Structure 1
Amino acid sequence: MRIMNALDGLDPGPASVTHRKPWILALDINGRPHRWVSWQAACTYHARDMVAWSTGAQAFMIFGGTSRSTGERSTLSSQSIIAIKGRALRPASFRQVPPLSNRELFRRDRHTCAYCSVTLAGNQLTRDHIQPVSRGGRDVWMNVVTACRACNQRKDNRRPEQAGMSLLYAPYVPNKAEFLILSNRNILADQMDFLVQHLPQQSRARALDA
């Protein structure tokens, strides 16, 4: 099976598909962002008539096998954003808090230390608890920020003000749309534009679309 970007008209061939692997943004029937699906899964949704509607500037042509009876090769087109038929997501599901991990925390904070503003690779960053866990602080989105190792050591087992340090940005809880942005390193421009409309106002992911 081969996949082609229907906009640029270039068929990259099987080898390129392995490296490209575009992810399709799946929405619920009401247009709420739900999850990323592979282009193979998108093909299945289309083939089973489970796509209610689709949108997006990017469209992909998928080439299947050749019919023995007609000699024609099967094709199927999918846009980069599809809405799946079925029960709509409950609003509470959309507001569901994404799981906290260092990877997603660093991406939320754009790999920038909350105390000195240095930007570093993930292996040089740490998860800092504003209110130390040993002093009753919780390991939750609103109590953690990204910190370089030097700042984390300087802050030690204290609150920022006790260490004479100031937060350069405030923590916040990312919603599902932001989690989808953070979890896809190869997000397409039209998918980003769609997801940005669903971001919290304080989201730093908005800067990624600037």
Structure 2
Amino acid sequence: MKTQLAFPDRDWLDTFEVRPAAARGLSQQVLRTDASGMPLEWIDYREAVRLHCLDQVAYAFGTPLYTLHGGTNAKSGLQTTIAISSMLATLGSSGNPGTLSADYVPPLNNETLFRRDACLCMYCGNRCPPAQLSRDHVRPFCQGGRDVWNNVVAACRRCNNSKASRTPEQAGMQLLAVPFTPTYAEYIYLKGRRVLADQMEYLLAHFPRRSRLHARLQRFMQ
């Protein structure tokens, strides 16, 4: 999902001194939206500064994250300063595929699948590190199941091996929650790292009114 932007000097950012606004280091992601406010993607501070320098930022909002101090402006005599907030809206056409097709399906991968299921085994309910989880197909391939969001859940390896090539009913196992396909805004949340409170609140406003992801987060993350 990362947008590649051409810039004449790839080392231009080295001339800036970067000061995080809090003890987050430089890894805190920025939520990029289009000018209408539709969520697009996560970007790092370098990409955010590049967008500012290319005059592609319509407006910025949210928690202050970084302040970059550059050289002195020859005309004004003032030091160049760029402030980066937790969210910024950019100019141009929307890159949100969720607005282009009602049938948009986000790419399926284990990282976002496990986050959708709150890193819980959907059979025994144990919370596990991602390395101890596996992707289970509710209806197995040998019975016509497919590798799609609506047919996969996070499962610990013990439960996955116990279920084997059977449906939950055939194995006498019960699913804790029904699998579902996330919307684009939900998928952006699932892709985020260390999502800040204001970023989460903003994304929640773009979740469906009866978001199953929101309900699941409230149920399993308490």
Q: Aligned to 1:187, which of 195, 211, 219?
A: 195
Q: Aligned to 1:196, which of 185, 199, 204?
A: 204
Per-residue CA deviations over 1:71-128 (Å, capped at 9, x if unaligned) read 6421112322111111234613687322111122111111101111011111211111
Per-residue CA deviations over 1:135-179 (Å, capped at 9, x if unaligned) read 110000000011111111221111101111111111011122222
| Residue aligning to 2:18 | 3
Q: Aligned to 1:86, which of 92, 106, 121?
A: 92
Structure 1: distance between partners of 2:77 and 2:56: 28
Count of paired positions: 201
Question: Partner amino acid for 1:92?
Answer: L
Gaps spanning 5+ residues in structure 2: where? Answer: 1-15
Structure 1: distance between partners of 2:93 and 2:37: 12
Identical columns (%): 39
Structure 1: distance between partners of 2:221 and 2:88: 21
Q: Aligned to 1:115, which of 116, 120, 123?
A: 123
User: Which has the higher mean CA deviation after the structures are superposed, 186-195 or 139-148?
Assistant: 186-195
| Residue aligning to 2:153 | 145
TM-score for both structures, normalised by structure 2: 0.79
Gaps spanning 5+ residues in structure 1: where? Answer: none
TM-score for both structures, normalised by structure 1: 0.83
User: Which has the higher mean CA deviation after the structures are superposed, 19-28 or 200-209?
Assistant: 200-209
Structure 2: distance between partners of 1:140 and 1:195: 24
Question: Is contact 1:199–1:206 with CA below 8 Å preserved after alignment?
Answer: no
Structure 2: distance between partners of 1:2 and 1:188: 24
SS of match in other structure, 2:212: coil
